[in-house]
Amino acid sequence: MTLNPLLKKTTLPQFNKIRPKHFKPAIIKLLKNSRALTKKLLTQKNYTWNNLVAPFETINERLLFVWSAIHHLNAVMSLPKTRKAYESCLPLITEYFTEIAQNTNLYRAFSSITTCEQYKHLNSVQKRIINNELRDFRLAGVNLPAQKKRLFMRLTQHLAKLSNKFNSNVLDSSQSWSINLTKKQTKGLPEHALALGRANAIKKNKPGWCFSLNFPSYHALITFSDLRSIRKKIYIAYATRASDIGPTAGKWDNSKIIEEILKIRRQLAILVNFNNYAEYSLATKMAKDPTQVLDFLNNLVKRVLPVGKKESAELKRFAKKLGVKKLAPWDIAYYEEKLSKEKLKLSSEELRPYFPDIQVLNGMFTIAHRLYGITIKEKTGVPVWHPSVRFFEICDASKTLVGQFYIDLYCRENKNNGAWMDECKTRRCLKNGTIQVPVAHLVCNFSPPIAGQPSLLTHQDALTLFHEFGHCLHHVLTKVDYVSAAGIKNVPWDAVELPSQFMENWCWQPNALKLFAKHYKTKAPIPKKLLDHLLASHHYHAATHMLRQLRLALIDFKIHLEFAPQKNQQLKKIIAEINKKINFLPTFKSSRLAHSFTHIFSGGYAAGYYSYKWAEVLSADAFSKFEENGIFDRATGKEFLHNILEMGGSEDPMILFKKFRGHEPTIEALLRQNGII
């Protein structure tokens, strides 16, 4: 045990020493310790913040620090041994947190603080933390009879196992598929895509050019391959991942897992007196009820659909002009790119040389400095999980260290697809008055550096990086001293995307682009003509892209609102119904969209995918203030820092938004920003 790096009290995880064999022994030891300390807490008679809430935060913070490292390694280095060790810990962790949330004595202890004299003297953040804890106790079934509590526990454990299996199936089915192309079959592929395909082939010891279902590979073929048969092949493989059909049919099939997950979620919701999982999910969000969410989404669809239909008609006419009588799903990205080149005189590949990853990072850090007065510098010698991972420190204007973060930018085998920010450590004020510095993980899946040249990003990649960096700043710039409300903790899920989507705006501003959009060889800025084309592309098919997001949000929310286990093929019917409603582009009837929808079946977005659009409304309105005052206006930047980023989950996000903006958000700013009105 003494040699287990997970049990050593280090400031940062010893990622270079942690092995799968360390996972379970560390978790068992920490769980035993946490249970004993919690039991000791409950031997007191008069409970206060200092003798219950603060020490209880400390107990769980230590456990979560270790679990975060394990969870993170399973996502970024998901080798068979890592996965197996992680899976052995998952039921133990799930059992512990459900057991804690159902602990009647602990619930009563927290509740007793609200009725004592001291409660009046607690600050608003402390009161919010206690009230949210009481809410979460109730949502976990603390008031249920013993038999139903045990059922809730079993269901929660099984749900965690199923969600993890869902994610593993998506990863395995994605990694199992690849396509090898001859020189003739690479027609249309730009230089960057060819370099990526060749590097993949060399790595796998194969001839020609090799492409996989990792997003950079998939995007290259679906967007640029002149061979429709190749596009169709990779599209179907991607659209049928982890399902009953397609090239890996039945091998990693999520069909039954989806049904089981939906069934369990509904059972859990009903156990604690909700009608469905959508209502249960909203108990911790800004949106008050399902009607408000559906009205919000349907209103946006109503406003955006007419423009989306015009864009669709334009794309179909363009494809027809090039000889395609009927546009297929695997044609859409290809002809969107070609139409963009003709209409806007812009190809996404033309921009790559101007977005080398290191340069984009440095420009992003400069923008953060101008807005918030912070300085970001790399620190070497920090233990990491892969040689390409870098570590950075953030200091405020007085040169005080306020946060740290890891960056893992490139795609590789055994790493989950997508991009995300996750917490490694949360800020808190320690007993001696010192501040525990928050730490974040920032993860992307960009094409790695190839053949001696840097990783060249697309403009979309740059947007993704800025997005995740926004989450990162939200977590590490917090000034809240309590771990339960610092950073992204305690922030409603439909508000958590505000800082991330907000940061994307600077990727569309000429004065911001000057800081980082420079040719990686010549250091020349984007030529004015190309820059004008890029800025014009902000509105290019914006309605189409928004409708895609609204479609996913409606599918997610409706299945969690309407799912009933006795109804057959319900998921399929809901998807078909929504496709019919938002029928603006051709769809693949055999698509298994839900089977790889990790956001809602293995992430935290169940009945909450609408959060992206909800927060985008907040983001667009918030950025309008910078458009009014100047995109680098320090005073406005400080207001955003003090009212949003530093406040974490310490206050209702609508109150914080109104403090910054002076009014409640409206969808007009979002529609205007996207050129829809």
Q: Enumerate residue ranges in the chain where pLDDT < 50.
A: none
CATH code for the structural domain at 353-539+612-673:
1.10.1370.40
Torsions phi, psi for 394 (to 5 deg) = -115, 125
Report the amino acid identity of residue 12: L
Report the run of H or E that residue 476 belongs to, with start and end: helix 459-476
Same fold, 20-101+103-139 and 353-539+612-673: no
pLDDT digits (tens, 9 = 90+) for 193-240: 999 999 999 999 999 999 999 999 999 999 999 999 999 999 999 999
Q: How far is CA 637 from CA 366, 380, 467, 504, 664, in A?
A: 13, 30, 17, 15, 19
Distance between CA 514 and CA 552 in Å, rounded? 35
Token reading at 442: 């920032």
Token reading at 333: 């990205």
At which residue do the structure tokens 């963009």 appear?
Answer: 340
Q: How far is CA 300 from CA 166, 321, 581, 620, in A?
A: 31, 32, 13, 14
- Give the pLDDT score at 349: 87
Over its C-alpha atoms, the chain yields an Rg (Å, rounded) of: 25
Distance between CA 540 and CA 530 in Å, rounded? 15
Query: Checking DSSP bridges between strand 439-446 and strand 401-410, what pairing results, if any?
Result: parallel
Out of 1.25.10.10, 3.40.630.10, 1.10.10.10, 1.10.1370.10, select the CATH number for domain 255-344+542-609.
Answer: 1.10.1370.10
* 468 catalytic per annotation: yes
Q: Who's near 320: CB < 8 A, 6+ residues apart?
A: none
Distance between CA 611 and CA 285 in Å, rounded? 9
- Give the pLDDT score at 2: 67
Dihedral sign (CA 632, 634, 638, 639): negative
- Give the pLDDT score at 303: 96
Asked whether 86 and 26 are in contact (CB, 8 A), the reply is no
pLDDT digits (tens, 9 = 90+) for 358-377: 999 999 999 999 999 999 99
Indicate which residue of 468, 504, 616, 651 is catalytic.
468
Domain ranges of the chain: 20-101+103-139, 177-239, 255-344+542-609, 353-539+612-673
Other residues' Cβ atoms within 10 Å of the Cβ of residue 387: 5
CATH topology of domain 20-101+103-139: Glutathione S-transferase Yfyf (Class Pi); Chain A, domain 2 (1.20.1050)
